[in-house]
C-alpha cells in the first residue's frame, strides 16, 4: 500500500463495523458508476481494495455484509458518506476487496 500512497493513488476511508467502533484505512477506490439493484433506481457502487489486515485494513472474516458501512465520497476529493458494505473477498493473502453501495 505504501507504494500506492507515494503515487497518491490511495485515499483514506472510514470502516464502521456494525458491532461498533471505526477504523481509518488507506484504500484504492474504484468508482465504476451507478448500477441498478433489485429494481431500484441506479445507485453508486464502489470496489474498495484495502490491506487484508485487522489493524491497518479489513479482513473478510470480520465483515458483516449488510451491517458494516464504509465512508466513501462518490467522486475523488468529495465528502465521504456512509455506504453499505455488500461483500468482502480476499484477493490473496495481502489484499481484501469490499463491494459497497
Residue 72 belongs to a domain with what CATH number? 2.30.110
pLDDT band at 4 (very low <50, low <70, confident <90, very high): very low
What is the pLDDT, as a whole number, of residue 13? 95
Report the domain count for the chain.
1
Half-sphere exposure of 45 (CA within 13 A, CB side): 13
Residues spanned by the domain of 24: 2-100
Q: What are phi and psi of 62, to 5 degrees?
A: -90, -10
Enter the C-alpha cell of residue 52.
487484508
pLDDT score of 36 = 64
Give pTM, 2 decimals. Answer: 0.83
Contacts of 22 (CB under 8 A, 6+ apart): 14, 15, 16
3-state secondary structure of 32: strand
> How far is it, in rounded angstroms, from Cα 86 to Cα 99?
5
Amino acid at each position: 500500500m505504501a507504494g500506492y500512497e507515494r503515487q497518491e493513488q490511495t485515499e483514506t476511508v472510514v470502516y464502521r463495523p456494525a458491532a461498533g467502533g471505526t477504523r481509518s484505512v488507506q484504500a484504492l477506490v474504484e468508482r465504476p458508476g451507478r448500477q441498478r439493484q433489485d429494481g431500484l433506481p441506479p445507485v453508486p457502487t464502489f470496489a474498495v481494495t484495502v490491506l487484508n489486515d485487522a489493524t491497518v485494513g479489513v479482513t473478510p472474516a470480520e465483515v458483516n455484509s449488510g451491517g458494516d458501512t464504509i465512508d466513501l465520497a462518490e467522486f475523488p476529493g468529495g465528502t465521504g458518506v456512509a455506504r453499505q458494505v455488500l461483500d468482502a473477498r480476499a484477493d490473496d493473502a495481502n489484499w481484501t476487496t469490499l463491494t459497497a453501495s
